[in-house]
Structure 1
Amino acid sequence: MNIFRRELRAYRRGLIIWGVCLFLLVVSGMSKYSAYSAGGTSNEVFDSLPQTMKALLGFGSFDVAQISGYFALLFLYIELTVAIHAVLLGSGIIAKEERDKTVEFLIVKPVSRGTILTAKLLAALVQVILLNLVTLVSSLVMVSAYNQGEAITGEILQFMVSLLLVQLIFLTLGMTLAALLKQPKTSSSIATGVLLGCFVISKITDLADRLKALNVLSPFKYFSYEWIINGDGLHGGIVSLSLLLVVALVVVTYRAYRKRELQV
């Protein structure tokens, strides 16, 4: 429990900064909605863009004049932001003692490595959930402030469930990489590189239908925004597979961390 509290204290300031940034992202993003919902020049400009440009910008076939379509556009950038936080948190919380040369703190503790890793995992999970809740509350408040039509609370909740699953995938991916790599200083950069690679894949498959099979390599494409805003919700099979992936990554992390030779 001491390790759990220590990890929460260590990341408290960073969590507050990330939370404020997410809040400002939602506020600034939703503040632009009135320009699109009013129609006119803004919509004409978007409608005139080629489909490839729409795909790269993240709104594809969404109707950004509708609150649900506009939120789906904004959600892409929210998802990318929290995914970066999750993968950096996952890699950093495992590697920071070796990176900062404070590994003696762990060695002198009369606890097993499994207990240490569990405390770190729980601390990271709490931070991920808190950031998700900040995003949820910010989204509900700002969408309600600008929405002039039917409420989309249900859709927002589904977006946040998919967001949490993506956060968990990248959190555990970052932890796995940090546990497997021998150089702790490189774990964060490699984890971020993997995340950006996944994001690039998601954009490539938007541009080329024949490459859709590559979506399995990108958690950003596991959940369809269009299904959510069209009322089809989240695919139960994809949710289950995502959870299985998280569990598999956690198992690999425990096995690798127990065998890891900590660098003092």
Structure 2
Amino acid sequence: MNIFTKEIKANSKSLVIWCIGILAMIGGGMSKFAAYSNSGESMNELLKVIPKSLLNIMGLSSFDLTKAIEFYGVLFLYLILISSIHAVILGANIIAKEENEKTAEFLFTKPISRSKVITLKLLAAFFNIFILNMVTFVLSFFIVNYFNKGDEILENIAILMVGMFIVQFLFMCIGSMLASATKKPHSAASTASGILLVTFILSMIINMNDKLENLKYITPFKYFEAESVLFGKGLNFHFILLSALIITVSLYSTYMFYKKRDLNI
């Protein structure tokens, strides 16, 4: 039984749907760029009279909407949200599915350890988020470049995709940890998604109030913001280390909890 191949096939249709969603987001979002850019500086002047808190919620805080790559920076906030939702649901479901579908008894009567099952499942989930990330990268480059006016965008988009992939992987691991730890596997995906949305809302609240800046360490959506990458700061090394720590703890917890739990057969 090739668990890895089985999981890839089982999630292939879902992956295609998520890729189509990414295409719709990038294509639909950048198609509006032409309208904004035709308005010239008038759009930027209009943004100056909008309250900063509202601009932060909308992801428009310091971007020049007459430049394609900066307009894309606005979209990136929602792309990373979409890809993270996909990752956290995938991470939870790929661990919990055997109990949810009542196939755990069949799977674990085979001569294969729980650790190996988890490893193969996580590799399949990793493959899925990697493909979604690569699709996002290719679509982003070609669509943004279509509207671009001579600016170098490949490096910026590539760095943004690296940041996005780290956040995807982080949430995938959190989802798998929750699915391994909970006694109600059918609720793991909704719980993991709830945690993700709370951290996303927290990132919006932090943007609205500078006094809450120190809370940025507990929300991954503040780790690799488009604003930092596009304005020359790149990826923050401290956030990379923090992400690696969260991923390591989540993966270790996934194995530890799942090996000790009584499966709901």
What range is the shorter-chain TM-score in?
A: over 0.9
Structure 2 residues without counterparts, runs of 5 or longer: none
Distance, in Å, in 1 between the alignment partners of 2:38 and 2:180 is: 51
User: Who is 2:116 aligned against?
Assistant: 115
User: Is the contact made by 1:35 and 1:42 (CA closer than 8 Å) also made in structure 2?
Assistant: no
Q: How does 1:132-211 map to 2 (within 5 A)?
A: 132-211=133-212
Q: Please give the secondary structure, in 1, of the residue aligned with 2:54.
A: helix
Question: TM-score under structure 1 normalisation?
Answer: 0.96
1:71, distance to aligned residue in structure 2 (A)? 1.1
CA–CA separation in structure 1 for the residues paired with 2:49 and 2:67 = 18
The CA deviation at 1:42 is 4.1
Give yes or no for contact 2:15–2:128 (8 Å, CA) kept in 1.
yes
Between the aligned residues of both structures, percent identity stands at: 40
| Structure 1 residue runs of 4 or more that deviate by more than 6 Å after TM superposition | none
User: How many angstroms apart in 2 are the aligned matches of 1:23 and 1:105?
Assistant: 38
Is 1:59 aligned to residue 55 of structure 2? no
Please report the TM-score for the alignment, with normalisation by the length of structure 2: 0.96
What code does the residue aligned with 2:56 have? A
Q: Deviations over 1:162-205 (max 9, x none)?
A: 00000001000000000000001111111110000000100000
Q: CA deviation at 1:105?
A: 2.7
The answer to whether the 8 A contact 1:36-1:43 is kept is: no
Do the aligned residues in 1 keep the contact of 2:159 with 2:234 (CA within 8 Å)? yes
Residue 17 of structure 1 aligns with an amino acid whose one-letter code is I
Q: Check the 8 A contact 1:86/1:168 in 2, yes or no.
A: yes
One-letter identity of the residue aligned with 2:69: S
Cα RMSD (Å) of the superposition? 1.3
C-alpha offsets along residues 2-51 of structure 1, whole Å, 9 cap, x if unaligned? 11111111111101111111112111111111122223554444333111
Runs (5+) with no aligned partner, structure 1:
none
- Tell me the amino acid that sits aligned with residue 38 of structure 1: N
- SS of the aligned residue for 1:32 comes to helix
Query: Size of the alignment, in residue pairs?
Result: 264
* Equivalent position of 2:8 in the other structure: 8
